[in-house]
Amino acid sequence: MSEMVFSEAMKDWVDWDQAAYELGLSLGALTRDVPFSKSKRIFWEDNPTGRALHATLLALVEAGLLESRDDDEQFRWATTRFLNVFDH
Tens-place pLDDT, residues 2-16? 567 899 999 999 999
Tens-place pLDDT, residues 17-30? 999 999 999 999 99
Closest CA to 56 of 10, 23, 14: 23
**Structure letter (DSSP) for residue 30:** S
Domain ranges of the chain: 6-77
pTM for this one?
0.85
Strand 74-77 with 14-15, pairing: antiparallel
- Cβ atoms of residues 53 and 20 within 8 Å: yes
| Number of continuous H segments (helices) and E segments (strands) in the chain | 4, 3
